[in-house]
Structure formats: structure tokens, C-alpha cells
Amino acid sequence: MTSTTRTRTLKTLLAPSLLTLALFAGATQAAAPLRPPQGYFAPIEKVKTGDAAKGCDATPTPYTGSLQFRSKYEGSDKARATLNVQSEKAFRDSTADITKIERGVSKQVMQFMRDGRPEQLECTLNWLTAWAQADALMSKDFNHTGKSMRKWALGSMASAYVRLKFSESRPLANHPEQAQLIEGWFSRMADQVVSDWDNLPLDKTNNHSYWAAWSVMATSVATNRRDLFDWAVKEYKVGVNQVDADGFLPNELKRKQRALSYHNYALPPLAMIASFAQVNGVDLRQENNGALKRLGDRVLAGVKDPEIFEEKNGDEQDMKDLKVDSKFAWLEPFCSLYTCSEDVLERKHEMQPFKTFRLGGDLTRVYDPSREKGEKGS
């Protein structure tokens, strides 16, 4: 047998094995578990013993009813920018238990990651388990405000839960049954959120869609579901491809005096999605020529000089929301994705720590732990 023949024979024999190895390597790579940014792996800071300052509040009543809620902008024109005080009160009253679990879970997780008291963890898991067992927030009878509440609640709870799931302290290790129940509920809710918000026409795709995508992204990592991850990335791309060359979002410009405020409100979910995608090998920073950076820069410029937005849409801007530091929590993931200028970093440091329940709690502890200080934010 000549050397050439031997080489051919060897290649023929090895080909199936090499193919199998290549397929296995590809499958292994594709199946890499989803993970959050590095800060979510942080351990519990310290374990305190003795009586806690406050016990566990009664579990909010799981909300299993119709998701038909009045809008706080009821009676407003199509700009949806004028608050209706009466309908807002009705909305707050009917959604009180949903808001309580959103805020409560976020606060309890922050306290537990700081103090490590087992009763804080048990309180959180008991609340979530009760809602999971009731299959809360899953009604198919909903209006726009109702489906909005569903995705907001999912994003709040799932992103707080991610801190428990991935902490190197492994707080969930002794609670496998509760974790399975909670994650199963999150998973079902995410499927419904996808159904609620998928493939909307572009003129109806605004900040609500970005917040829906954030809730699905947080759930994808909590439950290791690549299909949910891919949907969140798809919706992110739809969102940032709406950003024009000057950094404006046309559908948020329609919000008249609240246009700047709603541009700012669009940034937290988009920045968080990009951050979560980045650590899972999907770089979204340059989508639509760096649209996320362009949007962030435009908002920061608008906060300094609101006339930029007034000149664009003709309305004097309502700056009330933009005086709340926690509304700028998006700066934490944003400045981990892009190089922020010195003046932006200085401003970020003045406002830290950023605590916002809709993004799962204390983002400064996750993204910029060396700057953590004091008790500030919401």
C-alpha cells in the first residue's frame, strides 16, 4: 500500500469520528448555559444572626383575576401624556398586590444578599411559590394595561431571582422544589408575554415592547431557555432600529411633553438586554450604527438642555421624572457596554447607588460594586 493510499484510507476511517467530534463540539457550544453579567455571581456579603429588624410581611394575595385595568392616561388624546388622577387611583388600587410582590421581592433579595438571613430568603421564596402555585398573572382576559402589568411584574421578579440563582453562595441549593415551581411559572408567564407582544406593527412598537423583551431576557437566563433569549434579542433589534440618525425614537417623540421622559424610560430595558446578550456571546452594541449609544447620548444631552426635544416635537418638556436618580439606572449597564465620558461617569457617581425594582434591585452592586455607598434610590 502506497503512502498516498494509506493516507486516503486513514482519512476515510477517521472521517466519521471527526464529523462526530465536530457535531459534538457544535452541540456543546450551542448548549452553553445562559448566564447573567459577572456581578450577579457575587456572594452574600455577610451572614447576620440574631433577630431580624423586621419579620416577613403577609404574602400579597396572588392575582388570578382578569387583567383588565384602567389606564392612568384614561381620556387622554393619542399622545397618552396627560395623567387622569381618578383612573390612576383606580389602577393603583386594583394592582396593589402585584406592585407589592414586585417591590417586596426586589427589596427582600437586596436585603438577603447584604445580610444573608435565612428568613429573608424564605420570605421571598414563599411569596413567589404562593403566586406560582396559584398560576397568578396568567389570565388570557387582558387589555393593554393588563398585559403591561404582566410583563413589568415578570421582569421585576425574574431579574431579582437571577441574583439568587447565580450567586456563588448558592442560596437556592436547599430549595430545589420551590425553585422548580417558581422557574416553571416564570417560564409560562414569559411564553404569554411573548404571545402578548410579538410582531406588533412598527408604529405600535415602543417602550412597552422593550420592557416586555427585558422581562423575557431575564426569564431566559433564570430558566436557561435559548428560545426566550433569541426572542428578546429580536425585539431589541426592532427597538434600536427605530432610533434615527440623531438618536430620537419616533414613537416616543409622539408623547408630547413627556417625550424626553419616555426616551429615558426606553433606555433601561434596552441597556439591560444588551448587557445580558453581551455575556452570552451576542454583541448588540453596534446594531443600527451604535443606536443604543446614540439614544443614551441624546437623552443625556436632552436632560442638560430640554430645548433639544422641544425643538424636535414642539412641546415644552415635563422634567419631573428626570429629577429622580433611579430613573437613570440604565447608566450602570450602559457604561459597562460603552466607554462613558468623564462627565457622564461623574454624574453617574453622584447618583449612585441605583436601586430600581423593575430591573431587579441594586444595579450598582451588580455593575459597579466599588462605588456602592449609603441607602439611596428606589
pLDDT in tens, 50-69: 665 678 999 999 999 999 99
Whether pLDDT at 26 is above 90: no
Among 44-58, 137-151, 336-350, which stretch is predicted with the lowest mean pLDDT? 44-58
| pLDDT at residue 143, rounded to an integer | 96
Cα–Cα distance list, 275 to 69, 179, 218, 279, 329 (Å): 32, 25, 11, 7, 13
Is there a binding annotation on residue 262?
yes
* CB 103 within 8 Å of CB 35: no
pLDDT band at 214 (very low <50, low <70, confident <90, very high): very high
Peptide bond into 176 cis (omega under 30): no
Name residue 356's beta-bridge partners: 361
| pLDDT at residue 90, rounded to an integer | 82
| pLDDT at residue 24, rounded to an integer | 47
Is there a binding annotation on residue 349?
no
Is there a binding annotation on residue 263?
no
Is there a binding annotation on residue 145?
yes
Give 40-71 as a 3 state SS string. HHCCCCCCCCCCCCCCCCCCCCCCCCCECCCC
Among 90-94, 134-138, 211-215, 283-287, which stretch is predicted with the lowest mean pLDDT? 90-94
* CB 113 within 8 Å of CB 365: yes
| pLDDT at residue 373, rounded to an integer | 53
Rounded Cα gap, residues 238 and 273, in angstroms:
13
| pLDDT at residue 374, rounded to an integer | 46
Kindly state the cell numbers that stand for 362.
441594586
Is there a binding annotation on residue 159?
no
* CB 215 within 8 Å of CB 193: yes
- What's the pTM value of the predicted model, to 2 decimals? 0.88
Whether pLDDT at 201 is above 80: yes
| CA angle, 102 then 107 then 112, to 5° | 130
